[in-house]
Copies of this chain bind each other. A is one copy, B any other.
Amino acid sequence: MNRKADTATVSVGLGARAYDILIGPGLIVRAGAEIAARLPGTRAAVITDDNVASAHLPVLQESLGAVGIDSVTVQVRPGERSKSFETLQEAVDAILAARLERRDTIIALGGGVVGDLAGFVASIVRRGMNFVQVPTSLLAQVDSSVGGKTGINTAHGKNLVGAFHQPRLVLADTAALDTLPEREFRAGYAEVVKYGLINQPDFFAWLEQNWREVFSGGSARIEAIARSCRAKAETVERDERETGERALLNLGHTFGHALEAATGYDGARLVHGEGVAIGMALAHRFSARMNLASPDDAARVESHLRAVGLPTSPKDIAGDLPGADALLSYIAQDKKVSRGALTFILTRGIGQAFIAKDVPASEVHAFLKEFERP
C-alpha cells in the first residue's frame, strides 16, 4: 500500500481492538486499498447521508470497487434526527437484506451523526461487525470517530442509547474538510482547542500561534488533527469505558449540552461545537469564580475562542434563552449525573482540567444567573 508522506498515523492501543487513524489528504480515494489491506475478503455497507453522498460517495465507491470490495449503500437524511430508533432499524434491515455477515464491514462516510449511527449499527448487527470510519467533518475527525462511542438519541435525551464499539480503521481525509461550511469547521475546531485545555498547555499555545494555518489547510491542519486524535486516543486507552478520566473529554460539554437543549437543538442558533466553546469558556470562568484557577486563564481561553470566531457566552446565542432554573434542570438531566450529585469538568488552569464531583448546584445556579437577560 502506498503511504503518502503527508499522511499521519495515530495508533490507538486497545489490545485486541487496536486500530490506526490515518490523517491526510486523499484518503477517500485510497480507502478501498487501506480497507482491503486490513480486512481481506470483506464486503461492505456504506452508511452516509444525502449531503455527504453527493460530495464523496462516488469517489469512495470507485475506490472500493477498484480493489474488488462489493458494497451496498444506506443513505439517511442529514441531521441529528437520523440518530433515531426508526433510522437505526431501517439501516439494520438494509444490512441484513444485503446478507452481510459478521466479518463484513460497515463504513461510516460522514460527520458525527452518520458515525454514531453507523457505529451502533455495526455493533448490534450479528452482535458486532467490522466498522470503519471515514469522517468528513472536523468534529468527527477529532472527536466522534475516535474512541468507540456510538449511539442514537431518544425523547429522553441525546446519546442515551448506544454501545462502545471500536472501529478497525479511521480514515480522516483532511482534503474533505475543504468542502465544509466555515461555520462547521470552526465549530469542530472547538473540540481541537479542548484537548489543549484538558492537559496539553503547549498544544493550546501552539494553536494560539497557528490557528490560521489550521483553518487554511496543509500540514498545520494535519498536525492539529493528529495531535487531537493522539490526545483522545491516549485518554481512551487508559479508560475505554469512561469509568474515570475519560470523563475529562466532557470539558465544556455539561454547560454545552444544556445550551443545546435550551435552544431545542436548533442548529441555526447553536451547533454542538459552539455549545462546547461556550461551555469551555464557562467552565474556566466558573473555575476562576470558585478560586480554583486564575481569571487570567479564563480570559486567555475566551480570547482565543473569540479570535477564531467562536461564541463564549450564552449571550452570544441569538434569540431567547430560558433562565438559570431551566438550564440547571437540563444539566441535572444530562447523563453525566452520578447518584444525583452534579459532576463537572473544572480546571486549575489551562491544561489542568479535572473531574469535580459534588459541585454545589446553588453555586452553578448563581453563576448561570449572571447570564440571564433582563
A residues sitting closer than 8 Å to B (CB atoms) are 41, 85, 89, 92-93, 96-97, 101-103, 123-128, 149, 151, 154-157, 160-164, 241, 335, 337-339
Contacts and interface: CB of A to CB of B under 8 A. Distances in A.
Nearest to A89: B85
A163 B128 contact: yes
B127 A338 contact: no
A180 to B, nearest CB: 28
Contacts of A41: 339
B127 A163 contact: yes
B338 A101 contact: yes
A93 B156 contact: yes
B163 A103 contact: no
The SS class assigned to the A binding surface is mixed
B339 A96 contact: no
B154 A92 contact: yes
B127 A149 contact: yes
A155 B93 contact: yes
24 contacts: A93-B155, A93-B156, A96-B154, A96-B156, A96-B157, A96-B160, A101-B337, A101-B338, A101-B339, A102-B335, A123-B163, A124-B124, A124-B151, A124-B162, A124-B163, A125-B160, A125-B161, A126-B335, A127-B149, A127-B151, A127-B162, A128-B164, A128-B241, A163-B163
B92 A161 contact: yes
Contacts of A125: 160-161
Nearest to A161: B124
Contacts of A101: 335, 337-339
Contacts of A96: 154, 156-157, 160
A96 B154 CA distance: 9
A63 to B, nearest CB: 23
Contacts of A89: 85
